[in-house]
Structure 1
Amino acid sequence: MKIPTPSLGLKTVFKGFFWLGSIVLMLTIAAGIAYLVSAQTNPSGKRIIKTLGDAVTISFDESDIPHIQAKNSTDALFALGYLHASERSWQMEINRRLSSGRLSEILGKETLAIDRFIRTLGIKHAAEKQFDRYPIATKRLLQSYADGVNAGNAHLGWALPVEYFLSGSKPGHWSPTDSVAWMLMMALDLGGNWHKELQRLELSQFLTTKQVWEVMPAYTPGEPVSHLDFAKIYQDINVFNPNPLARDQKSKNLPATELAINEVPGGKDGVGSNNWALNGKLTVSGKPLLANDPHLGLSAPAIWYVAHLEAPGLNVIGATLPGIPAVVLGRTDKFAWSFTNTGPDVQDLYIEQLDPKNPGVYRGPDGPLPFKVRQEIIDIKGEAPLRFLVKETRHGPVISESYARARRAIDTDRFVLALRWTALDTENQSVAGLLDMNHAKDLEAFKRALRKNYAPMQNVVMADTDGNISLQTAGVAPKRTLHQGLYGVAPALGWERQYDWAGYVPFDQLPNSNNPDAHWIATANQKMVSSNDPNPLTGDWDLPTRYDRIVELIKSKPEHDLNSMKTMQADTLSLGATPLLELFKSAQSKHPLAQQANELSRNFDGDMKIDSTGALIFNAWADQLSRQLFSRLGYLFTENYGTRNFRHPLILQIQNPNSPWCNDPQTEQIENCTDAANVALDKALEQLSTQFGNNPKNWLWGNAHIAVSEHRPLSKIPLLGSLFNLAQPFPGDSFSINVGRLELLRAKNPFETKQAASLRTLYDLSDLEQSLFIYQAGQSGWVQNKLYRNMSALWARNEYLPLQMKPQKISRQLELNIKEK
């Protein structure tokens, strides 16, 4: 059959479409080239800024660290703000919107839940009240930084980071209170005790208090900080939702206007850090060594930006947080400091009872009290605004009306849950404390500045060139008395005065140490108790696996140098795995690949090396064993497994071979822990063969344990996610010094990690110019810049870059002037 030839008219139309398409393509290519040429991804040259006080010179070294030289601190912080905006504009815009509950204005209803929760907490309101009480000199520094941010954004011109074009937005105005609000968000991310309180409340629907302690054990098993039967307290007042989900039901889909599970910042196990200091008695040089690696969520761009600030009375280099005008972790030319999260219990949930005749009041110790109420309006891209009321009790904001999980647990016709949190106090001046720390002339002045730190509470380990090493826990935590009341382990009755806070722990009663006889100091989120106050700061410390391993390695050599410090930071032996190895190696499986898997993992000793097959088989087995024991909790397991790892209760239960948790309630026979281990191995081998193929020799830990640095908010979008996210095979696990927390049920690949060492620093106090650093991304926030990802592979291999105040080479220079020269 002959195909008819198109008419002349159709040919003309096709030709027109062809030329039109070609023109559109050419214009697109031209626009792309113009954008890449115009985008100021490597700021250099001269800029005129009339709002600047005096000229500032910024030199970038080979590690792309900017060295800011100014004639006063005000201009130095202006320049830092300018650089933060120039290099990390989109990151700062997301941070600003997140902390003020305004993401939905540009991202739509998908972020409405988090906006509503942040508005309910009142993060920006609290920041404004706190800023009002800051000293005038500090306000000026914060204002100068904000002016620098706004100038930096303005100088980007039309060629903004591509995220702005994708979201149809532009950089917003940065104010001094945005910096204070971002500090509060850091405190929220590093807090989270209230999550554990809520979990214990939820579990009390189905378990006795004794059983709850088995699932969420005390730091010292059998010795909880509270002996109250909280499950009975809740049952006696009938606090629970009369229509709860059954234990074997899946969580219902939650409305977009309510915060779904795992969307609240904070509350994750393993959010912490490592730091340690050795004095000259234990070092080759005879001077101290100091190490630090904070464990935070991995993001792209990274949470940190390294910079050097120099002005009269100011000479400091280290890691800054875009949005905050200070070096948070770093050194001067005389001393260095490091942080780990103390993890104190600074958040308490209160069950507040409603008046059945008047929902506008709640029960107080001496009678009814009115709620404080304010209206919030959230603008939503493509939708009508959301208007809602935020209620506050005498303890704090009511969160059960904005967090679906809290709302689901209780009878909302009769009760609400309110949050008491130190960070929201108007007295909080943590940013002022950071600025004072940066200006400290010596270690003693630095310690005095720590008294201003309010939240988050940190274990600060320090060392100086005179040979001193010190520890000071800094921050605010409520006074508690061991074994009295609930001690913050579970929600308290709001109308009982006995559960109210009775002031804060005095600074001088917080844990501290100066030049100890052991010649070393180490913290890794383990239990910290002051010598003059026997009451611990929380009942929910992390397992001491990293701390114990650090101490073991410190004691393994008579003398240390920078190389041995690197080795320690790279260590991947998991003391969270070793207690399970005997049961793991005795487990029997009927799977066809069992014999081969057993041979490959026979010599596994708990070291989570990247090329280890045993590490992957063990972790798959431990994952399945945890599910075997605790999945009977239904949604209360599946919703928490990942934010909590359940390793501590697992270790405790397998110590009793006949633990009732090892029995499978769905079978007629009674199983023991050996039976559970066998079933877990069957499931693990099936999972690994499905995920990685039928050749166990290919089951390497690095093939599964991938460190993923996610971009906000493009990480989940196909193609874009792969462009903006960073991924590297990574060693370690949730319990090794070189930590890499497993995502477990929170990801399709349960073995990937999104939380690890967000930064590593090493300081040699015999020559501070030998200091080193690395983090998992790069200095730039521009995805098209090679400096967006240049540190990624180095970080994964535990390699470092120099952290020098006087670099030998300068790659480019930027001058900020107030007028043409």
Structure 2
Amino acid sequence: MITLFRWLLRLATALVVLSVVVVVGVYYFLSRSLPDYDADWRVRGVSGTVEIARNTWAVPHIFADNDADVFFGLGFAHAQDRLWQMTLMRRTVQGRLSEIFGERTIRTDELMRRLDLYGLAQESVSAQDDDTLTALDAYARGVNAWINLVNDRALGRGAPEYFLFPGEIGLWQPADSLAMIKLMAVQLSGHLENEVQHARLSALIGEERVNDLMPIDDGSGLAALPDFASLFPTLTDTQLAMAPSVPGQAPGEDFSPFTSSAMAGASNVWAAGPQRAANGGTLLANDPHLGFTAPTIWYLARLELSTGAVTGGTIPGIPAVLVGRSEALGWALTSSYMDDQDLFLEELDPDTTQRYRTPTGWAEFETRRSIIQVADSDPVTITLRWSENGPILPGSHYALAAITPPGQVAALSWTALTGDDTSMSAAIGIMRSQSVDEALEAGEMYVAPSQNLTLIDHDHIAMQMIGRMPRRNAAHPTQGRMPAPGADPNARWEGTFPYASNPRFVDPLTGLLGNTNNKPLDRPFPLHVSFDWGDTTRIQRWVRLMRQRSVHTRESFIEAQLDTVSQAARTLLPLVGAELWFQDTPANPGTPEAQRQLALQLLADWNGEMSEHLPEPLIYAAWMRELQFRLIRDELGPSTDMFTHMEPEFIERVFRNTDGAGVWCDVVQSAVVESCVDIARTALDAALLELEQAYGPAIESWRWGDAHQATHDHPVLGDVPILRHFVNIRQSTSGGDNTLMRGLTRGGPPGAREPYLNVHGAGYRGVYDMGDPEASVFIISTGESGHPLSRHYDDLGVLWRRGEYIPMTLDPDLARAGGVGVTRLEPRP
């Protein structure tokens, strides 16, 4: 027995030692890819010394004798910290994910190949101005200098993720940077899905009721649209009921940039002129919203250019500060919601599917074959087709099969589908501008995705919608709200409007400008810009906060940026619960009636603040979510899944009975005529039961932050057991779908898992003060590094969650003081 015990002890000891050796070995190899921020390198492609001084949070401040070397340094820094992120984004836009991820990404690759965004980016290189070509070329050399060092010095393959996948790291090309902007256009465009939704609803419930779920802003002057089924009478009810569980993406498919319209970009910006700023300068606050990932898409940097130093938010892969400030100018971006996409249904020739009908007769599709290489599987060959209106899209995406009649296919017109895209030149030009007027002029070169560009210099403020606006015929059959017949000459685009037609606001008398993706002005079709906008409740809250002060400061702008009061909750709860407050006699403790009474009492005393520490936001969110599903489920059936998030305007219209919208409260399949009070009560009871099962019976102990965790998940390792606990960044957060400090929930159909996770919000925040420029502050939602073993992987995320910011000086001496190291790049013969 003693001998057996000794051998078991020796075996256990050996296993422990072996485990330690393995862990140490893995850590050693993975940590090899951690960049040394305090190192000197000799590299090719640089003409003089480049200095990259990283401050305490590893934010690079880049100095060189000429601009080309500065852009070289930015490419080098981006590659040091985010090489995996950059190459993953490049593979996405190229349609080459399946080469490393296998069959699960074939559909994403297929759609990216059909759009041919990378080919269009390659064509667009020659369209850039000289300054931009210099920046693109130098930036690519900087990225490649780091890749070459990784290969030559065996620096852990550049990132831990590369150990999981075979193959070399492809060198960076100027076209790759242009393709990054094309990829952003995919992520920020939602009108394609809106058209499909509108068409399906029109055929299912009629145009009048569509306006309840997809309302048009008052005063637009829109005439009644035709019923979609009348345009395409061969559609079947079975088709219309079809819907994928996630719009634009196959269930379970990873790495897809095709998100639902609810995730297709949002953002906030506000600016104050000198007369409304306490220190007599101008103020600008900006927080663009994108899907959360680890690391975040944003990367802070400071560049010392010949036109002056600039600092702010960059996106790895793009050689420009996209949002930020210089000594002379501050610039910001918000999604404009311009309708820059149209779907066309092309009628196929009955004799051959190679031809389609045009206004002048039958025409041949432009076709090309493309081979998708698939890891651990056979290659997949697809045939790409284009009509005069654009690429032909498969019916498996965006539920296109549901609205495409037999014998027809769907084509997409989109301003991003051009080979002369000078959006990068616009970004470089804006960054170099020395005044509002100069930046407004540079914005003319911008193509897609359309944005609202907000600007301040020392004396002026302005907002300009940038991006090409499609010119539609005044007789367009659907006005761009639904798919149209491809052969109808009135439906086809007639080019784009001139830049002067885009909305512009300069130095308003009120001294204040702001945008929360709301409708900025009222113009009749076809100059209308869009029929679909972001929610209107955020702009209402912003107006209220701005009116509370005659003058503003940096602190008041930060306060507005971090505001978590839901104007939607303040509006809806008195309507929905009007006849429920204190209606019942006191109920016995522990009964559903007692739970309902307690929940109603909490909501009655609540001010609408979506605080992570309170139960009321969770009760409100669950109630409104369940209420909307119950209102629409009987009319829409399986198509209910189209609406993954609560629509405040819809619920308000129903409970105010606007244009007869109260009819939604009756369950059409039942013999009883239900009232809105009935449906509100049953929805609350169902929501409370769901929350009790998830968080326990004690309502007072529920916390919104437990459900509303910001999900900065690693796109590759985030679902791997054990590893996910090291690479995913989860944080309890305040805010919600309709607050200024927006934290969009994941949503989903009824029964969806963890629907209240915070998946989309302000990955970057900046507040710039031209009265005291050095007081400007910045933050991103994770850290500068994309390496999970780096202490800079999530250090800024801790500050972001608390609503804190960091300074980023333009003073060279202060930039070099302290920090975590200085990297020097010297020319190598």
Change (3 A) 1:530 1:460: farther
Q: Structure 1 pair 184/225, CA: closer, same or farther in 2 (3 Å)?
A: farther
The answer to whether the Cα contact below 8 Å between 2:51 and 2:823 also exists between their aligned partners in 1 is yes
Q: Deviations over 1:775-816 (max 9, x none)?
A: 210111111112111122221221111121123633110101
Q: 1:558 to 1:22 in 2, by over 3 A?
A: closer
1:68 partner amino acid: I
- Secondary structure at 2:288 match in 1: strand
- Contact 1:342/1:459 (<8 A) preserved: yes
Give the corresponding residue for 2:589.
none
Q: Does 1:526 align with 2:521?
A: no
Q: Does 1:724 align with 2:723?
A: no
Match 2:502 to one of 484, 498, 510: 510
2:615 is matched with which residue? 613
Equivalence for 1:650: 651
In structure 2, the CA distance between the partners of 1:339 and 1:256, relative to structure 1 (3 Å rule), is closer
Equivalence for 1:810: 818
How far, CA to CA, are the matches of 1:491 and 1:791 in structure 2?
44
- The residue correspondences of 1:602-751 to structure 2 (distance < 5 A) are 602-633=604-635, 637-642=639-644, 644-656=645-657, 659-745=662-748, 748-751=753-756
Residues 472 and 492, structure 2, Cα contact 8 Å, conserved in 1: no
Look up the match of 2:779. 774
Task: Write the letter of the residue equivalent to 1:66.
Answer: P
In structure 2, the partner of 1:798 is 803
CA separation of 1:599/1:243 partners in 2, compared to 1, >3 Å: closer, same or farther? closer
Q: Does the CA-based 8 Å contact 1:188-1:266 persist in structure 2?
A: no
**Deviation per residue, 1:607-653 (Å, 9 max, x gap):** 212222222211111111011111235565443233x5433222211
In the alignment, is the contact (CA less than 8 A) between 2:249 and 2:397 conserved in 1?
no
For 1:209-288, what aligned pairs fall within 5 Å after superposition? 209-220=207-218, 225-236=222-233, 238=234, 240=235, 243-244=238-239, 264-265=258-259, 267-268=261-262, 271-288=265-282
**CA–CA distance in structure 1, aligned partners of residues 462 and 568 of structure 2:** 28
Stretch moving more, 416-425 or 193-202: 193-202
Q: After superposition, where does 1:54-93 map in structure 2 within 5 Å? A: 54-93=48-87
Which of 89, 98, 107 is equivalent to 1:95? 89
1:546: Cα distance to partner? 1.4
Task: Tell me the distance in 1 between the aligned counterparts of 2:59 and 2:6.
Answer: 60
RMSD value, Cα: 2.9
Residue 44 to residue 539, structure 1, CA distance change in 2 (3 Å): same
Q: Give, in whole Å, the separation in 2 of the partners of 1:94 and 1:261.
A: 9
Equivalent position of 1:593 in the other structure:
595
Of 413, 418, 431, the match for 1:420: 413
The answer as to whether partners of 1:583 and 1:674 remain within 8 angstroms in 2 is no
Deviations 1:76-105 (A, max 9, x none): 111111111100011111111011011111
Listed one character per residue, the Cα deviations across residues 650-693 of structure 1 (whole Å, up to 9, x for unaligned) are 22112119822111234210111111101111111101111111
Q: Which deviates further from its counterpart, 804-813 or 674-683?
A: 804-813
Of 671-680 and 146-155, the range deviating more from structure 2: 146-155
Give SS of 2:577's match: helix
Identity %: 29
Shift of 1:135: 3.4
Say whether the 8 Å CA contact 2:245–2:251 is kept in structure 1. no
Q: Find the aligned partners of 2:236 and 2:807 in 1 and give their Cα distance.
A: 57
Deviates more, 1:26-35 or 1:417-426: 26-35
Are 1:554 and 2:546 counterparts? yes
Partner of 2:468: 476
Structure 1 length as normaliser, TM-score?
0.92
Distance 1:762 1:685, change over 3 A: same
> Structure 1: how far apart are the matches of 2:48 and 2:186?
37
1:178 aligns with 2:176: yes
Contact residue 250 and residue 635 of structure 1 kept, 8 A: no
TM superposition shift of 1:356: 1.1
Tell me how far 1:698 sits from its aligned partner.
0.9
Structure 1 residues 232 and 533, CA, compared in 2 at 3 Å: closer, same or farther? closer
Among 452, 467, 492, the alignment partner of 1:459 is: 452
More displaced 10-residue stretch of structure 1: 632-641 or 154-163:
632-641
**In structure 2, the residue corresponding to 1:351 is in which secondary structure?**
strand
Residues 277, 22 of structure 1: alpha-carbon distance in 2 compared, 3 angstrom cutoff: closer
TM-score (norm 2): 0.92
Q: Structure 1 residues 262 and 432, CA, compared in 2 at 3 Å: closer, same or farther?
A: closer
Paired position in structure 2 for 1:376: 370
**Residue 621 of structure 1 contacts residue 684 of structure 1 at CA under 8 Å; is this kept in 2?**
yes
Corresponding residue to 1:387 among 381, 400, 413: 381
The CA distance in 2 between the partners of 1:653 and 1:526, in whole Å, is 22
Q: Take 1:509 and 1:246, find their aligned partners in 2: how far apart are those partners?
A: 39
Which moved further from structure 2: 396-405 or 323-332? 396-405
Does structure 1 residue 360 correspond to structure 2 residue 358? no
Letter in 2 for 1:211: R
Mapped partners of 2:827, 2:795: distance in 1: 33
| Shift in alpha-carbon separation, 1:577–1:484, aligned structure 2, 3 A | farther
Cross-structure match for 1:498: 490
Structure 2: segments with no counterpart, 5+ residues: 585-591
Distance 2:466 2:246 in 1: 41
CA distance in 2, matches of 1:255, 1:123: 18
Of 558-567 and 93-102, more deviation after overlay is shown by 558-567
CA distance in 1, matches of 2:721, 2:401: 33
Tell whether the 8 Å contact from 1:53 to 1:818 is kept in structure 2 after alignment. yes
User: 1:26-78: per-residue Cα shift (whole Å, max 9, x none)?
Assistant: 54244234335533334221011022122101111223221100111111111
Question: Is the CA contact (8 Å cut-off) linking 1:354 and 1:363 kept in structure 2?
Answer: yes
Which residue type is aligned with residue 422 of structure 2? Answer: Q
* Aligned-pair CA distance for 1:136: 4.7
Amino acid at match of 1:742: T
Amino acid at match of 2:690: Q
Report how many aligned residue pairs link the two structures. 807
Alpha-carbon distance in 2 for matches of 1:253, 1:623: 19
Q: 1:251 to 1:55 in 2, by over 3 A?
A: closer
Q: 8 Å contact 1:113–1:260 — kept in the other structure?
A: no
1:226–1:484 Cα contact (<8 Å) kept: no
The answer to whether the 8 Å contact 2:299/2:780 transfers is no
CA contact (8 A) 1:305 1:320 kept: yes
* Structure-1 separation of matches of 2:599 and 2:802: 27
- Is the 8 Å Cα contact of residues 572 and 648 (structure 2) preserved in structure 1? no
What is the CA–CA distance in structure 2 between the aligned matches of 1:132 and 1:357, rounded to whole Å?
41
The answer to whether the 8 Å contact 1:529/1:535 transfers is no
Alpha-carbon offset, residue 174 of structure 1: 1.6
Name which of 580, 588, 593 aligns with 2:572.
580
Give a deviation string over 1:569-594, Cα, whole Å, max 9, x none: 11112122222111343437844422
Query: Does the Cα contact within 8 Å between 1:219 and 1:539 map onto a contact in 2?
Result: yes
**What is the rounded CA distance, in whole Å, between the counterparts of 1:698 and 1:606 in structure 2?**
18
* Counterpart Cα distance in 2 of 1:116 and 1:257: 16
Structure 2 Cα separation of the partners of residues 417 and 479 of structure 1? 20
Structure 2 CA distance for aligned equivalents of residues 30 and 370 of structure 1: 62
The one-character-per-residue Cα deviations of 1:304-326 (angstroms, maximum 9, x if unpaired) are 11111113234211100001110
Note if contact 2:239-2:403 (Cα within 8 Å) is conserved in structure 1.
yes
Local SS of the residue matching 2:785 = coil
Q: CA offsets per residue over residues 734-754 of structure 1, 9 Å max, x none?
A: 111111112222651121110
Q: Deviation of residue 455 (structure 1)?
A: 0.7
Contact map agreement 2:345 2:404 (CA 8 A) in 1: no
Q: Deviations over 1:426-481 (max 9, x none)?
A: 2211011111222223332222211111111111111112x211111111111246
Q: What are the ranges of 5 or more consecutive residues in structure 1 without an aligned counterpart?
A: none
2:43 aligned partner? 49
